[in-house]
Amino acid sequence: MAHLLMIESWVGAMSSLLPRAVNESGHRFTFLTRDLHHYLRAAPARPHPLLAAENVLTAETNDVPALLDHVERLHGVLRFDGVISSCDYYLPTVARVAARLGLPGPDPRAVERACRKDLTRVALRDAGVPGPRFALADDWPSLARAAADLGYPLVVKPVDLCAGMHVREVADEDELRDAFAVLEAFPVNARGQARVRTVLLEELLVGPEVSVETVTVDGATHVVGVTDKSTAGQPWFVESGHMFPADLPTAEAEAVAVAAIEALGLDRGVAHTEVKLTADGPRLVEVNPRPAGNRITELVRRVTGVDLPAAHARLAAGERPDLRSVDTGVRSAAISFLLPDRPGLVAAVHGVDALAAAPDVVEWAVKQPGHRAGDPTSNNSYLGHVVVTDPTGPGARARAERLVAGLTVDYAEVPA
C-alpha cells in the first residue's frame, strides 16, 4: 500500500474522483493545503471527500522553496511513496516536490511548460507541432501591435488560468482593449497566486474540438480515446457538453496530441489534450498534464472500463496502470451542462423529475435554491449537469442535450 501526498485539489468532480481512485487502487493519502476552508465551503452539507485522508495538514503551498523544505521534513516522519494533485495551479509544484524527494513523477520543467500556455506555444512551434498563429505581449502597446499584425478576429487568453476563465474572441481593437483591462484587473488567481502578466493572442480556429485522453509511461504515450465537445456563449468558449467516444474521425488529432506531449517532454502522467479539427487539419489548442475535468474521466470509464484518475494515482505511486479496455455494454456516454441565461439568485430549477425517471440517466445534479449564478463566461458557471449512456451507438450526446434543454431556472427577486 503506497502513501501518497496530495497537494491541493479541485473542489469539483475530481475532488471526489481522485480520493476514490487512490483508495480503490489500494493506497492511502495525506492531504496538504494552505486553506482547508476553501474545500469545506465547497461542500457545506456533507464532509468533503478530501477529508477522508489519513492526515489533513496545512502549510503555505504557494511558497514553493519553503514548501520543499517542509515536505522533506514531513517525509522523514510520514514516509511518502508519491506526490499527486488534480489542480492545474499546483501541478508544477507537485512535480518539483516529487523530484526533491526522489519519488516517481514527470520532469518538472515539462509540467511547467504544459501548464503555462505561453511556454506551450513556443515549445510546440519550435517542435513543428501544428497550432494557431500566435503572439505574446506584456503590455497594451505590444498587444495592440501584435493583434494588428495577426489580424482579427482573434482569441485572447491568459497564460496561467484554467476552466476557460477570461478566454474570449475579440473582433476589433476596442474589444481587445476591454479584454486586456479585465486581465489587468485580475492580478491574483483563486488560490492566491500572483498571475503572469503575459497575454496570449491566437488566430481564431474554426471547426469541431476534441480532447485526446492519454497516459504516458516512461516516455511511451497510450491513447485511451478521444472525447468530442460542444461550446456555448460566444464570444466566450464555455464547454457545454462532452461525449465519449467522439463521433468524428480522430486519428490525425491523436497524432497531434502525442506529438505535443513528446515535444513538451511529458514523460510520465495522464494528459488531456485539446485539438481543433480545422479545414486545414488538426491544430493543437492546449495540453493539460492531468486527468480531464468536467466528468470526462467518468464518460471514459463507463465506455471502456479504464479509470484515468486511478491511472493518475498508480503513476504517482510508481506503478504501471492497466489500460486495457473492456466491454462495459456502453457504446457512448455524454454529459451536458445547464448554463445560466443571466446572473441572479437561483430560486428553483424545474424539470428534474424527468431526469430522475429516465433509465438512461446515470447521474445528474442541479444547484439548490440560494445559489448565486454568475455570467456564463467560463466552465465555473454551471448550474447543473446530466450524464447519459447509450448501449447501442453514439446517441448519448443528443439525448443529454435534450434533457438539459428541458430544464428551466427561476430566479429570486432581489429587493432594490
User: Hey, what long-range contacts does 160-163 have (CB within 8 A, 24 or more apart)?
Assistant: 160/115, 160/116, 160/117, 160/189, 160/195, 160/196, 161/189, 161/195, 162/88, 162/89, 162/288, 163/293, 163/378, 163/379, 163/380
Under 8 Å between Cβ of 231 and 276: no
In the sheet where 28-33 sits, what is the strand order? Answer: 55-58, 28-33, 3-7, 82-84
Helix (H) or strand (E) holding 137: strand 134-137
The C-alpha cell at 79 is 514516509
The per-residue pLDDT for range 165-177, each reduced to its tens digit, is 999 999 999 999 9
The per-residue pLDDT for range 126-139, each reduced to its tens digit, is 999 999 999 999 99
pLDDT at res. 45: 52
3-state secondary structure of 382: coil
* pLDDT at residue 414 is higher than 90: no
Confidence bin at 43 (pLDDT 50/70/90): low
The per-residue pLDDT for range 175-215, each reduced to its tens digit, is 999 999 999 999 999 999 999 999 999 999 999 999 999 99
Q: Please report the sign of the dihedral spanned by the C-alpha atoms of residue 357, residue 18, residue 109, residue 89.
A: positive
Q: How far apart are CA 339 and CA 263, in angstroms?
A: 36
CATH class of 329-416: alpha beta
Helix (H) or strand (E) holding 285: strand 281-288
Q: Please report the sign of the dihedral spanned by the C-alpha atoms of residue 296, residue 301, residue 306, residue 309.
A: positive
Residue 329 exposed, middle or buried by CB count within 10 Å (0-12, 13-18, 19+): exposed
Confidence bin at 46 (pLDDT 50/70/90): low
CATH class of 206-328: alpha beta
Under 8 Å between Cβ of 322 and 231: no
What is the helix, strand, coil percentage profile of the chain, to 5? 35, 30, 40
Choose among 335, 351, 352: nearest CA to 388.
335
- Architecture in CATH of 133-203: 2-Layer Sandwich (3.30)
Choose among 84, 41, 32, 83: nearest CA to 62.
32
pLDDT at res. 44: 52
* pLDDT at residue 260 is higher than 60: yes
pLDDT at res. 52: 83
Confidence bin at 278 (pLDDT 50/70/90): very high
Spell out the domain ranges in the chain: 3-103, 133-203, 206-328, 329-416
Same CATH fold assignment for domains 3-103 and 206-328: no
- Between 283 and 13, the more confident residue is 283
Q: Please report the sign of the dihedral spanned by the C-alpha atoms of residue 132, residue 138, residue 143, residue 149.
A: negative
3-state secondary structure of 163: coil
* pLDDT at residue 255 is higher than 80: yes
Under 8 Å between Cβ of 214 and 288: no
Residues 6+ apart with CB under 8 A from 111: 91, 92, 94, 95, 266, 269, 289
Q: What is the mean pLDDT of the chain?
A: 95
Percent residues over pLDDT 90 in the chain? 90
169: β partners: 155
DSSP 10-47: -SSTHHHHHHHHHHHTT-EEEEEES-HHHHHTT-TTS-
- Report residue 332 CA to chain centroid gap: 21
pLDDT at res. 153: 98
Q: How far apart are CA 248 and CA 174, in angstroms?
A: 37
Options 3.40.50.20, 3.60.21.10, 3.40.50.620, 1.10.10.10; CATH of 3-103: 3.40.50.20
Whole-prediction pTM:
0.96
